[in-house]
Structure 1
Amino acid sequence: MGHKHGLVFTGLTDVLDYHSRNSTPQDENVTRSLTRRLAILPMVVGSVQKSDFRGAVFGSGYMLRSLIETRLYDEVHFFAPLLAHQGAYERMVADVPWLRSVRVSVHQMLHLHKEVVTHDYDLVFAPTFSPEVAGLAALRKATGTDFRILSVIYSISYPDTETAMLLNMHAPLRDDDLLNCTSESGFSIMLALAGHLRKRFGVPLPLKLDMAVVPYGIDTEEFCPGDRDQACAFLGLDAGTRYILSLGRFSVVDKFDIGPVIEAFVRARQRLGGSWKLILAGAAAHGTYLEWVKLLLMRRGIDDVVIIRPDVSDAEKVALYRASDIFVAPSDNPQETFGLTAIEAMSCNVPVVAADWDGYKESVVHGETGLRVPTYMPRFTSILPDRKLIDNSLMHLLVAQTVAVDVARLAEAIILLGSDEPYRLRLAEGARQRATNVYDVRQVGAALRHVLTIREMMAAEGNDATGDAGETLDNLVPVTSDAASLWDLFGDFSTRSLVGADTLVTSEYGTAGLAETLPVYLTPEMEELLYLDLVRPICRACVTASPLEGVRAALLMSGRDPDRVDYTIYWAVKQGLLDVNPT
């Protein structure tokens, strides 16, 4: 024991403020003499086929760009997972313009243990915080090398994160290794997970490295405002139509449920008129879900005013932002901790309507860069009590189906921005300004540089590295329960839970469901948790606005499981069958 736990730097402001108070003119020479060579473990370049890319792959690529922008490294060595990937990796890195300022080469993971000795790396970047971080620490010790380790939190909701934490307790990690969380929300969850593990297993603090909050950076010169008419022409869109864009993987499992977006658009269009259309774009990760979306549009009678653009290219994505007037980001999944597309849209001068959820709470400033919509999440104790004992995809689906973005207020936000052009343009200007001031890759690179060099600067000045640079982790980890469900751990991602005093009222869509079967996305596992036979009785009970506590009490009188009753109510709110506290 006796280990002095790492420091904490939370956000760009903290990092830059500390640097301005403590840096000296010699800082550049100090850091340049100490850091030269960077190794990149697999996942940044990702799969050979772009269609296989996932958000974490793009995210790690964005973080790599920020590392290059630190100007700390002369050489970058990419490690391919398989010999068969060598040529593809070489071609891909050769096509990246921002890598031309450094010497780049591709190596094999098979030979990593030799390469760390041969090349004496200053930093090894493990794109996601996983058990491989502990493996890197063990490799460093075994080879007698001195590289630092940088890893990034992307999706914290997978059990691998807890496994990595537990391994870190015994791995030879150092105080100057760095774990970067890309949002304050992700940082808070990491601390909550540490507290949970300490409580559940009776172990000491399972984090032995510096922690920082430095967001992903985007190239605001690439994602920038452009000629709307040209963008529409490039995409084959009518420039005389106004567009609402939602861009993300077509995956209800690990992205978001599109059904509530469609319901919000149906409501908004009734007020905005026929000059508005909805664009749904993104990777067709789950083909069956995309087909269901198309079926839903036909059943709702709006397939002629909704445009589907699957598997868009990089050029098409930028054009979509430039052609759009409003961007909608209704995230509902605990695996999401940042939200890159919202930042890209903001950088292209598009105001964002987002769920009040995880990283969007930081990136989307309500009333300045866009609007955030109340998002509700329950706290269950008996459903999926241990997330490590269930399939990851199923777990994320079942949890996300109870994360209810307020559909009525989502529609109201779209109506407000769609009907008040001066206000929409003011938010668009604020969105672009925030993107360039906070999330530009050069800004983020500067912040990351400060985080990576603070210890060296302090050591050069003869200061203790546990000075006022940041708080120690021991003081920040909360006292938590030993519950392990995602509802318990990730509840603070949402605005709040519903309470008994909240009023529920059946929506027009819910009223239609009393007379006909509505097209809703269901899996057999969802049907195991939902009381589908209660959906219509709930909607009937709420035709007249009713307090949640009364509705819930009536349902429990039949001896139903309380958590499953709540699951059904949240799901009905999520799907827009019920509205909360109507105005």
Structure 2
Amino acid sequence: MANAAIHFSSEPYDASIPRPMGRQAAGEGFLRGFLQYADGERFHLWNVRDEDQGELEALLRRLGAPDKPITWLGRADRSGLAEAGAVHMPTPELKDEAWARRALGGNAYSITGVTHTIAETHILNEIGALLLAPLQPWDALVCTSASVRNATETLLESVATYLQERFGAARIPPAQLVTIPLGVHTADFGADPEVRRRWREQLDIPADASVALFMGRFKLATKMHPGPMGLALQETARRLGRPIYWLLYGGARRPADEEAFRSAAAAFAPDVELRFVEHASTRTRDEIVSAADIFLSLSDNIQETFGLTPVEAMAAGLPCVVSDWDGYRDTVRHGVDGFRIRTTAPRPGLGSDLIYAYAQRLVSYEAYAAAASMFAAVDIGETAEALALLFSDPDLRRRMGQAAQTRAREVFDWRVVIPQYQALWSELERRRTAAPVHPALENPYRPDPFRMFAGYPTAALSAADIVELAAPFDRDAAVAVVGHPSARTDAARLPSLDEALRLLECLATGPRTVGALLATMPPERRPFVERGLVWLAKFGLLRLCGATPRT
């Protein structure tokens, strides 16, 4: 099975930070699963941010050090990516890497990425740009759910229509989309009677009480509004005629966001017993599921694309009551693992003003996401009916919980998901190696500065131009000039000191043409030496006698 070099930095793969985002939890889970389950002889990790390797290795040890050797690739080591055969990005931002690869040839390696949130403008721009980037049939964007794939296709179709109308384009190569779900490490979750007893005692919840669990960030704007859940629990308590406990696990990065979420939850569920538990650690997350009878999550936000928490609850054997929204539609089987509750949104065409305000920066992303979520309705009566049925029927809870746990293990465990990535990389490798070799080409959006700005100088240096010393050769004086800090910069990739001195010593015997000087240098160094002649002339060591007249 083929593997890919992992586009590696700590931020997307470390969920141990306070208040991690969903993409970080997903990224950590993916990397842990990749290191544990990927088939292959070695791993390639691309240190794209030049982070301290010791710190990255510490992260790997926390996730479970692999039993295979690791090849570390430096930031600029795209030849190492070619050796690996593919690179996997933790985002859908593939265009820049596709352009970077073009300098090596279009089939130097494959590029894959994965969707998380796709509603923000910079991600919308990135996905739309895939149609103009030099992506190939051996590249792919992984969509984590059918819903996010549909949304991505809608965006790409919209951009393709514009390109056809604007330029009369008859053929626009589509970006390749594949669907592979996110996963969880199902062994991390389980129902433990002793843990259940301990948490219920700690939270002052009676042993026989009915408890619904919500897990996630406490953020009205970009997570979900707790109001519909609160209303449904309120109605459930009325129907059953007994107290219902609502366990809310998570938190927010900003105190104001957490307070707003808590206030909204309490306002819409005045007769429900609320219990809040902060995200203190991964262990707390893994244990809190034992305290609940049902998992409840009514996602209503375009920020969401998959939703890991229902799968985590399923892995613990909890039946789920979730909204029929985004990735939840792929994970919870209605009437089998729990219930998916009907959702309704306005018809297409009634939200143009919302996205326009966001696109023109009249409102923030959070304001835009919050505005869109105001028009996502979840059927509260249907939710209450599902909750009441589950709370009143222990056998149904048990059957659905067992079915959910089996599904989580068979479909969403990283042990099952990682081979899907490897199968994708293998297919992409087959296509790439079967294709004709693509030549190395320039990025047309980033032309060679000496071509783009060719109208600035009087002339460009040519092979026929004559080069001579500006003064008799003095080795010490030359070393002082080319070694001066102001005369060097690493980004310029200048000739080495030895190369500069060789050129000057050669010219000490008399003038030479540029072509004759370059012939004395190794072929792979000639482009650098050629432009280096201009550098030596800039600082008074050479005189360039060009044949091009001044205009």
Q: TM-score, normalised by structure 2?
A: 0.70
Provide, for residues 528-551 of structure 1, a one-character-per-residue CA deviation record: whole Å limited to 9, x for no partner. Answer: xxxxxxxxxxxxxxxxxxxxxxxx
Within the candidate set 139, 147, 151, 2:100 is matched to: 139
Structure 1 residues 376 and 413, CA, compared in 2 at 3 Å: closer, same or farther? Answer: same
Structure 1 residue 39, shift from structure 2 partner: 2.8
Q: 1:213 aligns with which of 172, 175, 179?
A: 179
How far apart, CA to CA, are the structure 2 residues paired with 1:162 and 1:137? 17
Which residue pairs with 2:120 in the alignment?
A: 158
In the alignment, residue 55 of structure 1 is paired with which amino acid? G
Alignment of 1:58-69 (within 5 A): 58-68=25-35, 69=37
| Range moving further from structure 2, 142-151 or 240-249 | 142-151
Q: Is the 8 A contact 2:143 2:149 kept in 1?
A: yes
Q: Which residue of 2 aligns with 1:121?
A: 84
Q: Is 36-45 or 385-394 further displaced after alignment?
A: 36-45
Cα offset for 1:117? 4.2
Distance 1:150 1:297 in 2: 40
Equivalent residue of 2:127, what SS? Answer: helix
Contact 1:277–1:306 (Cα < 8 Å) also in 2: yes
Aligned to 1:324: 292
1:148-179 CA deviation, whole Å, 9 max, x = no partner? 21100111222233322343333322211121
| Partners of 1:39 and 1:382 in 2: CA distance | 38
Contact 1:166-1:206 at 8 Å conserved across structures: no
Give how far 1:139 is off: 2.0
Equivalent residues of 2:147, 2:327 under 8 A apart:
yes
CA contact (8 A) 2:128 2:156 kept: no
SS in 2 for 1:434: helix
Separation (CA, whole Å) in 2 of partners of 1:300 and 1:433: 34
Change (3 A) 1:315 1:219: same
1:294-343: CA deviations, max 9, x gaps?
44466568488210112231111111112211001100011211110000
Cα distance between partner residues in 2 of 1:251 and 1:300:
16
Once the two structures are TM-superposed, the CA of residue 105 in structure 1 deviates from its matched residue by: 6.8
Displacement of 1:441: 1.1
Match of 2:484?
none
1:230 Cα deviation after fit: 2.2
Aligned to 1:90: 57
Q: Secondary structure, in 3 states, of the residue corresponding to 1:256?
A: coil
Distance 2:267 2:410 in 1: 44
Task: Show the counterpart of 1:195.
Answer: 157
Identity of aligned residues (%): 25
Partner residue in 2 for 1:373: 341
- Residue 360 of structure 1: how far off its partner (Å): 1.1
Structure 1 segment 84-483 matched on structure 2, within 5 A: 87-97=54-64, 99-104=65-70, 111-114=74-77, 116-117=79-80, 120-130=83-93, 133-143=94-104, 146-202=108-164, 208-223=174-189, 225-233=190-198, 236-237=202-203, 238=205, 239-274=207-242, 276-296=244-264, 302=270, 305-379=273-347, 380-381=350-351, 383-386=353-356, 387-390=358-361, 391-456=364-429
- In 1, the alpha carbon distance for the partners of 2:173 and 2:40 equals 26
Q: Residue 105 and residue 247 in structure 1: after superposition, are their counterparts in 2 closer, same or farther (change >3 A)?
A: farther
SS of the residue aligned with 2:76?
helix
Deviation per CA, 1:399-452: give whole Å up to 9, x if none. Answer: 011111122222221111111221121111111111111111111122222222
Name the larger-Rg structure.
2
Q: C-alpha displacement at 1:48, in angstroms?
A: 8.7
CA contact (8 A) 1:80 1:106 kept: no
> Partner residue of 2:471?
none
Q: Which runs of 5+ in 1 are unaligned?
A: 1-30, 465-583
**Cα distance, 1:216 vs structure 2:** 0.9
- The structure-2 alpha-carbon separation of the partners of 1:82 and 1:269, relative to structure 1 and needing over 3 Å to count, comes to farther
Deviation at residue 290 of structure 1 after TM alignment: 2.2
- CA distance in structure 1 between the partners assigned to 2:381 and 2:300 by the alignment: 16
User: 2-side partners of 1:192 and 1:153: how far apart?
Assistant: 14
Deviates more, 1:444-453 or 1:354-363: 444-453
Give the distance between the partners of 1:300 and 1:150, measured in 2 at CA. 43
Distance 1:456 1:293 in 2: 47
Deviation at 1:80, TM superposition (A): 5.8
Report SS of the residue matched to 1:221.
Answer: helix
2:500 corresponds to: none
Checking the alignment, whether the CA contact within 8 Å between 1:36 and 1:73 is kept in structure 2 is no
Partner Cα distance (1:173, 1:321) in 2: 43
- Secondary structure, counterpart of 1:112 in structure 2: coil
SS at match of 2:77: helix
For 1:548, the equivalent position in structure 2 comes to none
* Alpha-carbon distance between aligned partners in 2 of 1:297 and 1:182, rounded to the nearest angstrom: 29
Equivalent position amino acid for 1:215 in 2: P
Between the aligned partners of 2:352 and 2:416, the Cα distance in structure 1 is 45
Paired letter, 1:454: E
Distance 1:432 1:393 in 2: 34
**In the aligned structure 1, how far is the partner of 2:301 from the partner of 2:326?**
9
Displacement, 1:77?
1.4
Q: What's the secondary structure of 1:317's corresponding residue?
A: helix
Deviation (angstroms), 1:66: 4.6
CA distance in 2, matches of 1:399, 1:434: 32
> Secondary structure of the residue that 2:249 maps to in structure 1?
strand
For 1:459 and 1:106, the matched residues in 2 are separated by: 23
SS at match of 1:59: helix
Specify the alignment match of 2:23 in structure 1. Answer: 56
- Output the amino acid matched with 2:117: S
For residue 396 of structure 2, what is the amino acid of its counterpart?
A: Y
Taking structure 1 as the reference length, what is the TM-score of the superposition?
Answer: 0.66
Measured after TM superposition, the shift of residue 71 of structure 1 is 1.2
Q: Runs of 4 or more off by more than 6 Å in structure 1?
A: none
Q: CA deviation at 1:375?
A: 0.9
Q: Please tell me whether the aligned partners of residues 265 and 411 of structure 1 are also in contact (alpha carbons under 8 angstroms).
A: yes
2:377 and 2:306 map into 1 onto residues whose CA distance is: 18
User: For residues 413 and 47 of structure 1, do their structure 2 counterparts lie closer, same or farther at Cα, with a shift above 3 Å needed?
Assistant: same
CA RMSD of aligned residues (A): 3.0
How far is 1:213 from its partner?
0.7
Which amino acid letter does the alignment assign opposite residue 99 of structure 2?
Answer: A
Answer whether contact 2:354 2:372 (CA < 8 A) is retained: no
- Residues 122 and 273 (structure 1 numbering): CA distance in 2 closer, same or farther, change over 3 Å? farther
My pick for the range that moved more, 261-270 or 66-75, is 66-75
Higher relative contact order structure (alpha carbons within 8 Å, sequence separation ≥ 6): 1
Deviations 1:88-135 (A, max 9, x none): 4332222112x423334766xxx52236448833221111102xx121
8 Å CA contact 1:351–1:370 kept in 2: the answer is yes
